[in-house]
Amino acid sequence: MDLTVAICMYNARKYIRETLSCILSQSVQDFHLLIVDDASTDDGAALVEEFFREHPRQYELQRLPENGGLCAGRRFVEEHASTKYLLFVDADDCPYPQMVEKLYGKIVSDPDLMAVGCYQEYMGTNGEKLRGGIYLGCKTKEEFYAKAAAGKLIFMSAGAAVFDRELALRVGGHQLDGFPEGKPRYRDLCEDLDLWCRMSDLFVEGKAIIVLPEVLWRYRKHERAMSTDSFGMTLRMKHIKGNLRRRRSGQKDLSFIEFRDNLPPAEEKAIRREAVAADSFRKAYFLLRKGRIFSALFHLLRSFFAQPSYGWKKVRANLHIFH
């Protein structure tokens, strides 16, 4: 297989053995396994070495000298790997056994395909099954071409997608430049959406991004997401969407710094309201799971008053889970 499966990990000792077990359970094994430790402060890298002493197979462990974040780790992999295709596996997620075989088999079956993803289901911090999942993406090339031509965002998780490394680098790969220093690391927000949207420019050459409408992945949904600030992510999505429209009209991309510094105050206020809606809806979800009905209702109402359409969009996107 002309494929590298890459795990970028940071302080992942709690889950890395489970994820590696899922890798060893794949129905095909003739891929290169690359593990990148992003200057962790725990003993995750030592656990990786211990795991493969117990379960021998080929692997490569790279330790980065300083912590650069998710986007920097993925860019390192894109430049370090030598295979045509890449698949990123998050250090706490669990692919099902046929995931690699099915995604790789699909992408090599059609030279027009530059990325192939799949559906994902949610699991909790301790591996318990949760309702919902990630069921996004175009299922056919024709659907993708229409969406790309219309300048639509291309949603698909990189943690469940095999993609063409060479084409990704051709459009810039995971981008590190043009972001402010310090935290939050805006380059780590929606970094995969940014890559898929830049790769979608290649629709003019007949290239396509699709998903297999099949659950091949378990995505760990941590409760700490309850406290996630959505403002930066929403801002980043607006930046990606704006650049997509600029490219479709023949204009040059704006860096994130340029975009942020030129954002009208009224638009920034609208983004903050959208972020409040997202954060409140997320909190309501976790509170409902804990049976805290009144607290959950409070946050649902807060989400509704911040942006009435947000909750309905989330429910509509996941309606199939009730079928």
Tell me if residue 89 falls in helix, strand or coil: coil
User: Could you report how far apart the first and last alpha carbons of the chain are, in Å?
Assistant: 37
Tokens encoding 266: 């009224």
pLDDT at residue 321, rounded to an integer? 43
Q: Concatenated DSSP letters for 199-236?
A: HGGGGGGT-EEEEEEEEEEEEE--GGGGG---HHHHHH
Dihedral angle of Cα 135, 221, 48, 183, to the nearest 10 degrees:
100
CATH 3.40.50.300 fits 3-227, yes or no: no
pLDDT at residue 185, rounded to an integer? 93
pLDDT by 10-residue block (mean), the chain, 323 residues: 97 96 97 98 97 97 96 97 97 95 98 97 88 90 97 85 97 96 92 96 98 94 61 92 96 96 90 84 80 86 82 61 41
pLDDT at residue 323, rounded to an integer? 38
Instruction: Count other Cβ atoms within 10 Å, centred on residue 283.
Output: 21
pLDDT at residue 230, rounded to an integer? 82
The rounded distance, in Å, linking the Cα atoms of 173 and 122 is 27
pLDDT at residue 315, rounded to an integer? 62
pLDDT at residue 265, rounded to an integer? 92
pLDDT at residue 320, rounded to an integer? 47
Instruction: Please report the beta strands in 28-109, taking only residues with DSSP state E, as ranges in sequence order.
Output: 32-37, 60-63, 85-88, 94-95
The rounded distance, in Å, linking the Cα atoms of 278 and 234 is 9
| Nearest Cα to Cα of residue 165 among 96, 78, 228, 106 | 78
CB 238 within 8 A of CB 274: no
| Nearest Cα to Cα of residue 106 among 137, 148, 152 | 137
The rounded distance, in Å, linking the Cα atoms of 193 and 8 is 18
For Cα atoms 292, 294, 297, give the angle at the middle one, nearest 5 degrees: 105
Can you say how many angstroms the Cα of residue 137 is from the centroid of all Cα atoms in its chain?
Answer: 12
The rounded distance, in Å, linking the Cα atoms of 179 and 171 is 18
Q: Can you name the residues that pair with 63 across neighbouring β-strands? A: 37
| Nearest Cα to Cα of residue 168 among 88, 103, 99 | 88
- Boundaries of every domain in the chain: 3-227, 278-323
